Amino acid sequence: MRDKKYLELLAKEYPTQKDANSEIVNLMAIRQLPKGTEYFFSDLHGEYEAFVHLLRSASGVIRTKIKDLFDDTLSEKEQNQLANLIYEPEKVLMCIDEFKKDAEDFKRLTIYRLVQICQEVGSKYTRSKVRKKMPAEYAYILDELLNVSHRGNKKTYYQAIIRSIMEVGAEEDFIIALCHLIQSLSVDRLHIIGDIFDRGPRPDIIMNELMAFHEVDVQWGNHDISWMGAACGNRQLIANVVRMGISYNNFDALEDGYGINLRALSTFASNLYSDDPCTVFMPKILDENEYDLVDAGLAAKMHKAMAIIQFKLIGQLLDRHPEYEMDDRNVLKRINYEMGTIQIGNKEYELLDTHFPTIDPKNPLKLTREENDLMNTIEYSFKHSEVLHRHIKFLYSNGSMYNKVNSNLLFHGCIPMTKDGEFESLKIGDSYYKGRMMLDKINQMVRNAYFLPESNKEKQDAVDFMWYLWCGAKSPLFGKSKLAAFESYFIADKAVRKEIMNPYYKLSEQEEICDKIFEEFGMDPKTSHIINGHVPVKIKDGEHPIKANGKLYVIDGGISKAYQSKTGIAGYTLISNSHYLALAQHRDYMKIEHSMGAYTPELQITEAYKRRLKVADTDNGKQLLEQIQDLKELKEAYQTGILKERVKKR
């Protein structure tokens, strides 16, 4: 018998045996429903247009549902139009009245069709779950339409509801509500395997979409940690976020999205480098800014100014933390300023650029007064950005270093390993951690960096450690020998820029290594999968996202435009429904947009289940079984007199 106090608490919710019986029946029925559809995305990198489309179209699955339902009654063009309407109802409805003479009939017929699609995508859920996803203002009407047949005795009632919607002029609002409900029902749970930020134009818009989604979890990536660390006040990462943003021309994200004031940086850089073309620092312009149009020449000067400040700040941090064993990254100390060279390893390299007006060769890590004032201004923007902190708090509340869900182990980068296949140790504080313990300890450090009070002695170490997570060799979020940003800017020899991957990335292609990782995390090697992002899969070079005989999925396929030339595709969605596990392989978003609703991704079923999975087969199903057992024990307590029923008065 469970602790009596726990049962007393449960009794407040279920005061009689009948109440307990009713909930037991309800939970047992839910366990027999088909498993909900899970979607896995990785490395979104600010590509909001592509991601929003993939989310709203359920990676093309909604278009497939339309074909299944209406292939005999609608032309290909009409099916495409219906799909487009579901993806972007507000936009499409604006065009209806202008281009359709029979707009009213079209809207009436569209409601019928949308209800059918909604019934189809919602058929695997309880009425209660579907109702919770409905907009409150139309919940009653939607509930009636979805659960009343438009044939037989209820046909007149069904038609009367739709006629009334038209008569009061609510048809467009109702169509929009139906489209949003279809979108919501098509994706039951969303998993983001890291790297929402950097490179693409608007990570803030992606974050708003995620926060509006009903069930989502995030496994932090190194780019997410960079922004999280910046929000914690880590100056190295504040400089990193600004440098990265400028390098990819992401001024809209920085200034319009998050309110980061770059005016002082603009003035500082234009004065400091007035005669310096800063050629190597020219930004990669993959997207044009809509609100903050910055001349490329000025952006290059801002880029260089922030890069030099960042290298100074990194050197200061490494002097404070010799335990990071990263003194080779203290690059400004390694420059021979008279000769214009730098020593890396045992070799001397000539620098491509030797114009360093803010560096004192005798004290190269010291910020000038102007640089320090500039960092104070930028840091103030990060600390006081309401939008940034709202988004960062969401990443904390819905995120973690890893997640175990429905026999899938999700983490962004790697579990650091040695060449001989053992888990690599990382020193944090006075202790060493490896494997699962390393990720658990890091998870706590990341939370300490944001949530510990300023007076706590452990806070500063945690804030500093966020930088190590961004680019440390043993960081599971990075997992490379070094971040060769300095080499890319200043050294012509491409060989010195090489970043050597942690042994995990090769070893994990072996089944026995995956099994070792599953056992470390308490998972069944026979049924589990690892799902990673971080390393783009170069399809055009013959690489494949499925490794270790189906036990490892690497789903960074290049949603980011910055990677598409390397990968040859435009990203993956991993889809897990009640029938199968499948990879959707995507095209460039511009081609998707021009397809006018016709686009469906290339879908590869990678694992077909022997039987249709039910809720009972999921983690949620196990939790429901525990609740059922609790309720049975509550019933026993009532029956044996340990607790008294509170019979409701009539």
The string of pLDDT tens digits covering residues 488-521 is 999 999 999 999 999 999 999 999 999 999 999 9
Q: Is the dihedral of CA 96, 100, 101, 104 positive or negative?
A: negative
Higher-scoring residue by pLDDT: 10, 147: 10
What is the predicted pLDDT for the residue at 542? 82
What is the predicted pLDDT for the residue at 562? 78
From 361, 385, 409, give the residue that closes a domain.
385
Phi and psi at residue 47, to the nearest 5°: -80, 75
Reduce the DSSP state of residue 493 to 3 states and report it.
Answer: coil
- Residue 24 included in any domain: no
Question: What average pLDDT does this structure show over 538-544?
Answer: 81
Reduce the DSSP state of residue 75 to 3 states and report it.
Answer: coil
* 158 pLDDT higher than 60: yes
Lowest mean pLDDT among 277-281, 376-380, 536-540: 536-540
- Residue 485 included in any domain: no
- Residue 220 included in any domain: no
From 337, 364, 385, give the residue that closes a domain.
385
Higher-scoring residue by pLDDT: 646, 99: 646
- For the chain, give the percent of residues with pLDDT over 90: 74
Report d(CA 485, CA 307) in Å as an integer: 9
* CB-based contacts of 2-10 (< 8 A; 24+ apart in sequence): 2/630, 2/633, 4/637, 4/642, 4/643, 7/633, 7/634, 7/637, 7/642, 7/643, 8/643, 10/630, 10/631, 10/634
Tokens describing residue 345 = 């390893």
On whether both 84 and 137 belong to a single domain, the answer is yes
On whether both 283 and 245 belong to a single domain, the answer is yes
- Residue 315 included in any domain: yes
What is the predicted pLDDT for the residue at 527? 94
The string of pLDDT tens digits covering residues 235-286 is 999 999 999 999 999 999 999 999 999 999 999 999 999 999 999 999 988 7
The string of pLDDT tens digits covering residues 283-321 is 988 777 766 678 889 999 999 999 999 999 999 999 999
Question: What average pLDDT does this structure show over 210-227?
Answer: 96
What is the predicted pLDDT for the residue at 106? 85
What is the biggest distance separating any 2 CA atoms in the chain, rounded to whole angstroms?
95
What is the predicted pLDDT for the residue at 115? 92
On whether both 126 and 268 belong to a single domain, the answer is no
Report d(CA 517, CA 530) in Å as an integer: 9
Report d(CA 405, CA 403) in Å as an integer: 6
The pTM (predicted TM-score) of the whole model is 0.92
- Give residue 598's pLDDT band: very low, low, confident or very high (50, 70, 90): low
On whether both 94 and 108 belong to a single domain, the answer is yes
User: Would you say 51 and 202 are in contact if contact means Cβ atoms under 8 Å apart?
Assistant: no
- Residue 98 included in any domain: yes
Measured at the alpha carbon of residue 34, what is the angle toward residues 30 and 39, in degrees to the nearest 5? 115
Higher-scoring residue by pLDDT: 430, 649: 430
- For the chain, give the percent of residues with pLDDT over 70: 95
The string of pLDDT tens digits covering residues 386-429 is 999 999 999 999 999 999 999 999 999 999 999 999 999 999 99
The string of pLDDT tens digits covering residues 61-119 is 999 999 999 999 999 989 998 999 999 999 888 876 555 567 788 888 999 999 999 99
On whether both 243 and 377 belong to a single domain, the answer is yes
- Give residue 162's pLDDT band: very low, low, confident or very high (50, 70, 90): confident
Mode of pairing for the β-strands spanning 38-41 and 189-192: parallel
On whether both 369 and 297 belong to a single domain, the answer is yes
What is the predicted pLDDT for the residue at 596? 61
22, 26, 29, 30 alpha-carbon torsion, rounded to 10°: -170
User: Would you say 265 and 306 are in contact if contact means Cβ atoms under 8 Å apart?
Assistant: yes
Question: What average pLDDT does this structure show over 136-151?
Answer: 81
Tokens describing residue 445 = 């450090």
Q: What is the DSSP letter of 363?
A: B
Q: What end-to-end distance do the CA atoms of the chain give, in Å?
A: 32
Considering the chain, what is the average pLDDT of its residues? 91
What is the predicted pLDDT for the residue at 599? 66
Q: How many domains does the structure of the chain reveal?
A: 3
* 559 pLDDT higher than 90: no
On whether both 320 and 237 belong to a single domain, the answer is yes
On whether both 263 and 295 belong to a single domain, the answer is yes
The string of pLDDT tens digits covering residues 6-31 is 999 999 999 999 999 999 999 999 99
What is the predicted pLDDT for the residue at 216? 96
The string of pLDDT tens digits covering residues 325-336 is 999 999 999 999
218: enclosing H helix or E strand:
strand 216-219
- Give residue 594's pLDDT band: very low, low, confident or very high (50, 70, 90): low
Report d(CA 244, CA 262) in Å as an integer: 13
On whether both 127 and 239 belong to a single domain, the answer is no
State the alpha helices, DSSP H only, in 168-276. Answer: 171-186, 203-212, 222-232, 235-247, 251, 263-272
* 153 pLDDT higher than 80: no
What is the predicted pLDDT for the residue at 563? 78
* 463 pLDDT higher than 60: yes
Look up residue 52 and give its amino acid: V
Expressed as residue numbers, the domain containing 117 is: 38-193+533-613
On whether both 322 and 284 belong to a single domain, the answer is yes
- Residue 500 included in any domain: no
Question: What average pLDDT does this structure show over 149-175?
Answer: 82
448: enclosing H helix or E strand:
helix 435-451
On whether both 143 and 284 belong to a single domain, the answer is no
What is the predicted pLDDT for the residue at 323? 94
On whether both 244 and 125 belong to a single domain, the answer is no
- Give residue 647's pLDDT band: very low, low, confident or very high (50, 70, 90): confident
- Residue 44 included in any domain: yes
What is the predicted pLDDT for the residue at 535? 86
From 385, 407, 434, give the residue that closes a domain.
385
* DSSP codes of every residue in 340-359: TEEEETTEEEE-S----TT-
- Residue 440 included in any domain: no
Question: What average pLDDT does this structure show over 206-229?
Answer: 96
